[in-house]
Amino acid sequence: MNRLFILIIFLVTGPFLRAQVIGDLLQDESVLYAETKQVNQFFHRFNSEEDGKGKKIYEGNPAYRDNHLRKQTLPLIFDKESTTLSKSIENKFIKEVTNKNTPKYLEFHGGDWFAEVVIDVTFDGNIKEAHLFLKLQEEEVGSKWVITRVYFEPFARLFFKDPSAVDKFLHPMSHELDFMNLAKVFREEGQVEYYAYDNFSPDFLSIFIYEMKIERLKFNGVKKVNFHFFQVDGYYFKLEEFNRAGFNNGWLITQLKEIDQESKNRLIGTIYYEGN
């Protein structure tokens, strides 16, 4: 009898309790507009797993992953000063990720996202800028950030910059000459990469590590960090940090694009500076 009574009370009061909790959160604009100071907070607020004061919203709380609340708060994690964001795409994106039948949430450990870290280095006595790309790698216990690739403009200048060299090749009978014609290849050191296999791509990460090991390249400091997200099917967005006056502050979405698989591949190539 007691269990039946409790069940009836829950069914009657549940919707009112949810409305009360959501209403309390929405009434306080200072909570809604509090800056997202950490990337983890961005994930939690995108999913409605944390309130504006940084307090964790646990499963079982009526506000946990509540799509009505998300519809109100998601517009606040966009950069209001961006000139590249499309309001129509933003509205469509929010509508899709808060769909009551197929809501979309961000996953810190299991999703398609990566970091771009812009650093200052000294290379051959000159200050240069390098771009490091990192992703989370899962371990038996926990996870860690690992460097997956590097873009460094001085390295990029060394490769495939001579269009006249595209027809370079070693004759198929070179083995009969004990490959003596390699002498010609290495005399043309500025074009040696054209003798490599089809689709050869230089590994800047290995070169970068080598240059650091021989102390010709030295790390000075981090200039900027961006995050690139492909977790929501059909969309890409970029996350950047802002330290400015007002409520629209902290980690905010600065770019949002609708993409298919083909445009996703092209966009990733652009982010990685492929072809530069």
Residues 9 and 101 in one domain: yes
The ranges of the chain with pLDDT < 50 are: 1, 3-23, 25-27, 31-33
Residues 106 and 237 in one domain: yes
Tokens read off for 194:
């054209």
Tens of pLDDT along 71-91?
988 998 999 999 999 999 999
Q: Which residue is associated with the tokens 């799509």?
A: 67
Tens of pLDDT along 153-188?
999 999 998 888 888 899 999 999 999 999 999 998
- Is there a domain that residue 100 lies in? yes
Contact 176, 186 (CB under 8 A): no
- Is there a domain that residue 219 lies in? no
**DSSP label at 96?**
H
- Is there a domain that residue 106 lies in? yes
Residues 103 and 180 in one domain: no
- Is there a domain that residue 222 lies in? no
Report the candidate in 269, 260, 265, 249 with the shortest Cα–Cα distance to residue 201: 269
Find the domain containing 180 and state its range. 162-200
Residues 44 and 101 in one domain: yes
- Is there a domain that residue 96 lies in? yes
Neighbours of 33 (CB within 10 A): 14
